[in-house]
Structure 1
């Protein structure tokens, strides 16, 4: 009997722990299910509402099924195990009540969720219907835009079909009529179209129209106006372009054109007029460029390009206008076997006006020189009297420097009219040559220019230039001539790698190349003209090298030493004479 009691106690203990285990598994399953489906609900919270509610309903249905299974398990335990103790029976009864309560609550929640699902589905259907209506409206607008796009396409195609032409009174009338005909024929909903070119007072200068006004089916009337300027010739009276249009109903029963279309149309006409004027200006500019190139070629023929050479003199010219043509003038004229005239002049201003005056100077200089006027002071005085009236009328003036070389006495006569001082370079010195000067040509009606004589006792180089050389990259116009002196002196004294001995024959070439390199490396703002004169002393040859200038003579060394002492004492003698 005792053994049976012990066995029953063990059975009850086993059943107790079995119930605890089953209950724990059930609780763990519920926790895992809530965790699984609850996480999905949180992850899908930003998704569509219908999907979120569906997940909730599915989870609730699974929970209700589980509660129903547990209810039947507890009920079977009570019915099949009558020998259970009071505690076991009470536990199963409590579990049965708990599972029944949970099943009822879950079923109620399922009904609520099911109603929410139906409500969301109805709302989704309503939203879908609204979107369908919106898409239909959008499709209608797109169809309208496609019609407008077709009209705008016709508008833009007119640029290819109607070619711009030079603007004249006849061509403008023809152009506007072609545009009106083109657009009226292509855009079928335009019942009336009119372009009028009007003056500032509103008077109609020209007009072009198509169609009949006041059509019974008109749904839009438009009148737009735009201002135009700078039309050529007699067309300057035209100040406004006015567009008047009437639009009828389209095939779909709607208005296919908007006022913006006609504003665009008017801007298109305005752009057409501007394009025609641009073509006219471009043609005029091309013609002007051709004329300027021709003027440049003509002026280049008037500037000496070949080197000039005598027994003890070599000359070369550098000329670079800032535009096609310039106002600087440089020339050398052999008056006879003894005298040669050199002149450098600079007309105030730039471009074509200055170039025309420079050409006039050339003609005047050659006419004066051919009259056997040998003194540079007399040449300047005669030029001033000849040109004063024309220069004063145009409010212009000319700076000039005239030199006459005497090949018999080997000396240089010089007169200056407001021109920059020449540069003097030799073995013994590199200086700005002091020279007396007068006012520029055209400033005073009657002026006497001083005369200066330079004895050429040593091998030397003289540079006469216009102020454009000083303006090329200058920092200080007062010190820049000295910088040119230093650079040129160093150039002539230091040997080249390819030409260690710089002789008189190639010294001019080196100086000329140096001037071109210096002027092209900076920004040129003025015309540049440079006259390079290379002199050799009588019965001497000159060879520049690193040590200086070497004299070579067939006479005795004593005579050579005497000449050197005379050269070092005073190489430049200046004498001024009043003309």
Structure 2
């Protein structure tokens, strides 16, 4: 081997050793903890490391850029002079195909000029600069993933808070009056839901029961449901006849619902303790189930259109005397859908099953209200829930029977009339 060949081999080995040290130093930097707050500093340190350890490097520029070459950030070393006699190196690598912002740039771009003349050195430098692009892309992606993970945890925390707030607004305790008791069953499809279920003592004579279903799911529907709860309490300050309640609610909510392309179905039931009867009005809502010793049926009450669909909607009211002991179930459509097995359980199947359940509890002298609630939860768990599910169970005595024993209950504050 000639002296010239030995010298070339020595230069190549030295070059490779320098690049190995460069890779070690670069990897140490790229493995550091990084965030959006420190990303630019880490990139600047990488550029400084490469510029100082590649002897032939005259100029190096790394930038985070958009699809349209908008530079979000750049780090450079060296002076921009006449590079006509130098070897140019350039490249770019995609950070994220579907995002393009200062926090999630589309590209990492590299521009460099070196004094390398040997083809082997040029080839090695090209590979090394490509590795630098990969390292910087990895840093940017780690920041993005970290940011997305933080956002996800924050969103989950916010949703959990929303779930707790909404849960506090759903009646938890059984309401017991002289001739009627009520219990709410509520299961949102996601963290929060668009169902609204409530009972409100208007005064000593009247108690208002409401079940409503906001179109859609999740947080938007939940926000609307919370707004409806506030609107209901405002309306009950002046009106408590179910048809007037629905009419006034539609007037209050129409503009907001139409802007958001939403609507609300609702059933309002007003219990008259003196007459032991219910006054019912519906706005596009499913008809309630009525079960007594002599009648098991879908109550044939007239209904109007949902709230938010027509600006001038009016509603009718119907009276249901409670002459014998029984149940009235007010529900959202998720109640029927939650009973799915292989096919949708029709409402008549619910009537049949609940009738058998009532007969069983009467024979065994068990608490029928507990039995009905347990059965609803059992069917919900057995099926696959596809919507928010709410059921308001009203159990009533006949006019001749002994009243329900009074118990302490947490109820909504009475309206000032």
Which bin holds the TM-score, normalised by the shorter protein? 0.7 to 0.9
**SS of residue matched to 1:195:** strand
**How big is the shift at 1:539?**
3.4
Q: Determine the structure 1 residue equivalent to 2:411.
A: none
- Cα 1:429–1:376 change in 2 (3 A) is same
**Which residue, 155, 173, 193 being the options, matches 2:26?**
155
Deviations 1:183-218, CA, capped at 9 Å, x for gaps: 4456667564321344555465542123568999x9
Q: Does 1:518 align with 2:384?
A: no
**Which residue, 537, 540, 544 being the options, matches 2:398?**
537
Deviations 1:147-183, CA, capped at 9 Å, x for gaps: 766544433322333x32126xxx5543421221244
Gaps of 5+ in 2: 1-10, 405-417
- Cα 1:304–1:441 change in 2 (3 A) is same
Q: Does 1:164 align with 2:34?
A: yes
Q: Does 1:436 align with 2:298?
A: no
- Cα 1:427–1:142 change in 2 (3 A) is farther
Q: Determine the structure 2 residue equivalent to 1:42.
A: none
**How big is the shift at 1:142?**
11
**How big is the shift at 1:249?**
6.9
**Which residue, 258, 265, 273 being the options, matches 2:132?**
265
Gaps of 5+ in 1: 1-139, 544-579
Q: Determine the structure 2 residue equivalent to 1:406.
A: 272
Question: Is 2:242–2:269's contact at 8 Å kept on the other side of the alignment?
Answer: yes
**What does residue range 243-392 of structure 1 map to in structure 2 within 5 Å?**
243-246=110-113, 257-371=124-238, 373-392=239-258
**SS of residue matched to 1:529:** strand
Whose Rg is larger? 1
Q: Distance in 2 between matches of 1:531 and 1:241?
A: 58
Q: Which has the higher strand share?
A: 2
Deviations 1:218-251, CA, capped at 9 Å, x for gaps: 9964211224453446x68x6542212356679x
Question: Is 1:231–1:277's contact at 8 Å kept on the other side of the alignment?
Answer: no
Q: Distance in 2 between matches of 1:430 and 1:459?
A: 12
Return the TM-score normalized by structure 2: 0.82
Q: Distance in 2 between matches of 1:490 and 1:156?
A: 72
- Cα 1:256–1:533 change in 2 (3 A) is same
Misfit runs of 4+, over 4 Å: 140-151, 185-192, 198-205, 211-216, 218-221, 246-250, 253-256
**How big is the shift at 1:493?**
2.4
**SS of residue matched to 2:31:** helix
Deviations 1:310-335, CA, capped at 9 Å, x for gaps: 11211000111111211100000111
Deviations 1:361-401, CA, capped at 9 Å, x for gaps: 11111111122x23111111111111111111211111000
Question: Is 2:26–2:46's contact at 8 Å kept on the other side of the alignment?
Answer: no
Q: Distance in 1 between matches of 2:276 and 2:354?
A: 24
**Which residue, 322, 328, 336 being the options, matches 1:470?**
336
Q: Which has the higher helix share?
A: 1
Q: Determine the structure 2 residue equivalent to 1:94.
A: none
Question: Is 2:279–2:318's contact at 8 Å kept on the other side of the alignment?
Answer: yes
Q: Determine the structure 1 residue equivalent to 2:5.
A: none
Q: Does 1:449 align with 2:320?
A: no
**Which residue, 262, 269, 279 being the options, matches 1:396?**
262
Question: Is 1:247–1:257's contact at 8 Å kept on the other side of the alignment?
Answer: no
Deviations 1:248-306, CA, capped at 9 Å, x for gaps: 679xx967934233222212212211221222222222222222221111111111111
Q: Determine the structure 2 residue equivalent to 1:501.
A: 364
- Residues paired across the two proteins, number: 388
Q: Does 1:174 align with 2:174?
A: no
- Cα 1:142–1:517 change in 2 (3 A) is farther
Q: Distance in 2 between matches of 1:427 and 1:187?
A: 93
Q: Distance in 2 between matches of 1:333 and 1:204?
A: 60
Q: Determine the structure 1 residue equivalent to 2:327.
A: 461
- Cα 1:189–1:398 change in 2 (3 A) is same
Question: Is 2:39–2:139's contact at 8 Å kept on the other side of the alignment?
Answer: no
Determine which structure has greater relative contact order: mean sequence separation of CA pairs < 8 Å that are 6+ residues apart, divided by chain length: 2
Q: Distance in 2 between matches of 1:173 and 1:150?
A: 23
Q: Distance in 2 between matches of 1:185 and 1:369?
A: 77
Question: Is 2:58–2:78's contact at 8 Å kept on the other side of the alignment?
Answer: yes
- Cα 1:206–1:384 change in 2 (3 A) is closer
Q: Does 1:420 align with 2:290?
A: no
